[in-house]
Amino acid sequence: MLNSNRIIEICSENVQSYKKIISGINYESKGIFNSEMLLFVSLTKYFSVNLIIESGRANGQSTKIIAECFKNPIYKIISVESNRFSPHVKNSYERLKKYRNLELLFGTSFSLIPELIMEECCILIDGPKTGAIKLAINCMKNPLVKAVFVHDLTKDSNQRITAKKVFNYYFFTDNKDYVTKFKVLDEKCWLDLKRYKKYRNWAPYRRDNKVTKSYFSTLAVFMNSNNAININQYNPKLEDKKKWKHSWSFKYLLNDWPLRIKNIIRYPFYFIFFEKKFGINNKINLILLLKN
């Protein structure tokens, strides 16, 4: 199985051609950074697969990089997005409509992706965030999947702790040597990120005023083989724990202002129970529910 040095070597072999391809691509919010996508592009080429599946498209930053790097019609690219009503749908469609070998699907990857694995492939997961490891495990049970890449696995995340227990062969783009070698690819991303108010104070190893252990969001690769997964080490509660705890920080109390705080005051115990069960992203409104 590939070790860190070999992975960095493979990425180095691809970096010049990759740099040329991405030079014309602007960075869009929520997108995976260029240095992180280098890992995906290089290893997907290394594994010689013709099918590429993406979960989580938003503005299509990663999708655009994949589509440009795998333009040749021998490749088939399928991108799955769960939110067909998001404001990003129109933008991503405009950016991606010209690629003939790219299929844009709507639906949840939990049910769609297992059906799409018809030949040897690599899979990129950048949404869902909660349950990404579960989805990766399900994909890797199929031997046609050569590798699964998961975004947002920073050093202090519970997903990372879970992933390191569950998978045997992995690599993370916050590897020090990797960052030193390829961070130059992100210069434009950092500049473009400053256009968005929310990310104005983000920098390498820093999110607003908080110093982070990881360079940025971090892309992980989990390589598949017949002994790649320790399924008994998977604990869904651990994967989700921190997200829920975080949702009770002051910053999140103001989420969906004033609806969430009204719910918390009115039905504290029920609300805590339901939010813990269904997650903060499901925007639970007990006031409306119990009124009807």
Q: Could you list the residues that contact ligand SAM (CB under 6 A)?
A: 30-32, 55-62, 80-83, 86, 108-110, 126-128
Closest CA to 25 of 79, 67, 85, 72: 67
Which of 59/162 has CB closer to ligand SAM? 59
Q: In angstroms, how far apart are the furthest CA atoms of the chain?
A: 62
Shortest reach from residue 147's CB to ligand SAM, in Å: 17
Shortest reach from residue 284's CB to ligand SAM, in Å: 17
Query: Using CB atoms, what's the residue nearest to ligand SAM?
Result: 127
Shortest reach from residue 150's CB to ligand SAM, in Å: 11
Which of 62/218 has CB closer to ligand SAM? 62
Shortest reach from residue 135's CB to ligand SAM, in Å: 7
Shortest reach from residue 267's CB to ligand SAM, in Å: 27
Q: Give the Cα separation of 253 and 236 in Å (integer).
A: 24
Coil, strand or helix at 123: strand
The sign one gets for the Cα dihedral 25, 29, 35, 36 is negative
Which of 4/138 has CB closer to ligand SAM? 138
**Taking a C-beta distance cutoff of 8 angstroms, is the pair 22, 68 a contact?**
yes
Which of 30/262 has CB closer to ligand SAM? 30
Q: Give the Cα separation of 245 and 39 in Å (integer).
A: 31
Which of 62/154 has CB closer to ligand SAM? 62
Shortest reach from residue 286's CB to ligand SAM, in Å: 23
- Whole-angstrom CA distances from 231 to 1, 60, 142, 151, 276 are 19, 32, 14, 20, 24
Q: Give 41's contacts (C-beta < 8 A, 6+ positions apart).
A: 14, 18, 65, 66, 69, 70
Shortest reach from residue 126's CB to ligand SAM, in Å: 4
Which of 176/198 has CB closer to ligand SAM? 198
Instruction: Look up residue 213 and give its amino acid.
Output: K
Which of 266/277 has CB closer to ligand SAM? 277
What does the DSSP assignment read for 126-143?
A: -S-STTHHHHHHHHHTST
- DSSP H helix total and E strand total for the chain: 14, 9
